[in-house]
Amino acid sequence: MEDMEELGPCADVLKKARSNCFLEMTEGVKAALLGQGLIPAETQRISQKNASCFEKSLNSLGQCLNRDMVKKEKVMQMKHAQHGQQLAM
């Protein structure tokens, strides 16, 4: 998936989120079906829990991307500094 490649090392965060959040939703649906069924109150509870899962995952993805961007900036600065030193010689 090309979109995942663009995330670089942070793609794993998104993969894990999809898996974990889907599992949470599945467990919520199973529990609801054993109880009152998928009535509006249950679907709302499941969707809120799932939204919270995705929000946490997006925060984790953002942190990863920010760290990755900082690393890339440092590498670019080092390369730029090395290039400047080579030109000065």
Task: Please provide the size of the chain in residues.
Answer: 89
Q: How confident is the model over 42-52, as pLDDT tens digits?
A: 999 999 999 99
Amino acid at 68: D
Q: Which pTM was predicted? A: 0.71
With a cut of 50, list the residues of the chain below it in pLDDT: none
Angle, CA of 84, 88 and 89, to the nearest 5°: 120
What per-residue confidence (pLDDT) applies to 61?
93
What per-residue confidence (pLDDT) applies to 78?
76
What per-residue confidence (pLDDT) applies to 30?
97
